[in-house]
């Protein structure tokens, strides 16, 4: 029986993009369902009753939740093509550490450049740049965080790149000026079809960020 794969998603979500990229890397066909996060579908509430968040991958009727867990699941289930996690247990633990760092540090720092003003925004930009520099050190001279090939950390981090225009527009700064190596890595990833086809247009993200700022009460 062929696999039935459904993705409950929201196009500007960096977490959803991770799953889209992982599935594209594996060459998987799936049904994409765009959610309205302000009016969630009964299917989303049924498939993720705890967090009520996207993304959710529904594989043969069974839900898998949390983007980093979904990407690892996709890698384990469709293991014959484009391995994303390293085969060595220590290397795998390291990759998981960096994805955890992205979720705990990088994500919040990026969001803070959008959700703050004045002094707090200056602080947020400084922290964001410091975190990117830490990631640049981790990348070293390798083309990808995964080494010679695009891997789990790359899949988890690249979706944030399409948010940079929004961070930079509202934060009034340039990541490229301070972290050119990071931007070179991002452009390298964008050359991959699995990435470029899975990411929304930056302008769309800027529009969504403007809406979020209104909701944060900034504008």
Number of continuous H segments (helices) and E segments (strands) in the chain: 12, 4
Tell whether residue 198 is a contact of ligand GS8 (CB under 6 A). Answer: no
Tell whether residue 121 is a contact of ligand GS8 (CB under 6 A). Answer: no
Q: Which stretch binds ligand GS8 (CB under 6 A): 48-56, 93-101, 184-192, 209-217?
A: 48-56
Which residues within the stretch 64-93 sit at the binding site for ligand GS8 (CB under 6 A)?
Answer: 66-68
Smallest Cα–Cα separation from 144: which of 102, 89, 192?
Answer: 192
β-pairing, 5-9 vs 31-34, is: parallel
Phi first, then psi: what are they for 144, rounded to 5°?
-135, 160
Smallest Cα–Cα separation from 129: which of 170, 174, 97?
Answer: 174
- Bridge partners of 58, per DSSP, are 6, 63
Tell whether residue 150 is a contact of ligand GS8 (CB under 6 A). Answer: no
Which residue's C-beta sits nearest to ligand GS8? 53
Residues 26, 53, 121, 125: which binds ligand GS8 (CB under 6 A)? 53
* Cα–Cα–Cα angle for 44, 204, 52, rounded to 5 degrees: 15
Residues 5, 8, 30, 55: which binds ligand GS8 (CB under 6 A)? 55
Smallest Cα–Cα separation from 16: which of 58, 63, 57?
Answer: 57
Nearer to ligand GS8, 147 or 207 (CB): 207
Residues 8, 10, 64, 99: which binds ligand GS8 (CB under 6 A)? 10
- Other Cβ atoms closer than 10 A to 172: 11
Tell whether residue 13 is a contact of ligand GS8 (CB under 6 A). Answer: yes
Tell whether residue 9 is a contact of ligand GS8 (CB under 6 A). Answer: no
Residues 7, 8, 15, 145: which binds ligand GS8 (CB under 6 A)? 15
- Bridge partners of 147, per DSSP, are 144
Rounded least distance, CB 70 to ligand GS8, Å: 7
Is 215 in contact with 170 (CB distance < 8 Å)? no
Rounded least distance, CB 67 to ligand GS8, Å: 3
Smallest Cα–Cα separation from 9: which of 62, 60, 61, 67?
Answer: 67
Tell whether residue 106 is a contact of ligand GS8 (CB under 6 A). Answer: no
Tell whether residue 37 is a contact of ligand GS8 (CB under 6 A). Answer: yes
Rounded least distance, CB 191 to ligand GS8, Å: 25
Nearer to ligand GS8, 9 or 25 (CB): 9
């Amino acid at each position: 029986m062929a696999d039935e794969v459904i993705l409950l998603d929201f196009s500007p979500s960096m977490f959803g993009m991770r799953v889209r990229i992982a599935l594209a890397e594996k060459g998987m066909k799936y049904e994409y369902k765009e959610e309205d996060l302000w009016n969630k579908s009964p299917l989303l509430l049924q498939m993720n009753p705890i967090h009520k968040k996207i993304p959710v991958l529904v594989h043969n009727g069974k839900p898998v939740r949390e983007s980093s867990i979904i990407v690892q699941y996709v890698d384990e289930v469709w293991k014959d093509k484009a391995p994303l996690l390293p085969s060595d247990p220590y290397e795998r633990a390291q990759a998981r550490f960096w994805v955890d760092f992205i979720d705990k540090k990088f994500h919040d720092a990026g969001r803070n450049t959008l959700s703050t003003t004045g002094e707090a925004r200056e602080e947020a930009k400084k922290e964001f740049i410091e975190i990117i520099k830490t990631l640049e050190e981790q990348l070293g001279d390798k083309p990808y965080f995964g080494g010679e090939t695009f891997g789990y950390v790359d899949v988890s981090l690249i979706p944030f790149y399409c948010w940079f225009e929004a961070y930079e527009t509202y934060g009034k700064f340039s990541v490229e000026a301070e972290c050119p190596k990071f931007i070179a890595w991002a452009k390298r990833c964008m050359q991959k079809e699995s990435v470029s086809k899975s990411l929304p247009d930056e302008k769309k993200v800027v529009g969504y960020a403007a809406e979020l700022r209104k909701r944060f009460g900034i504008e």
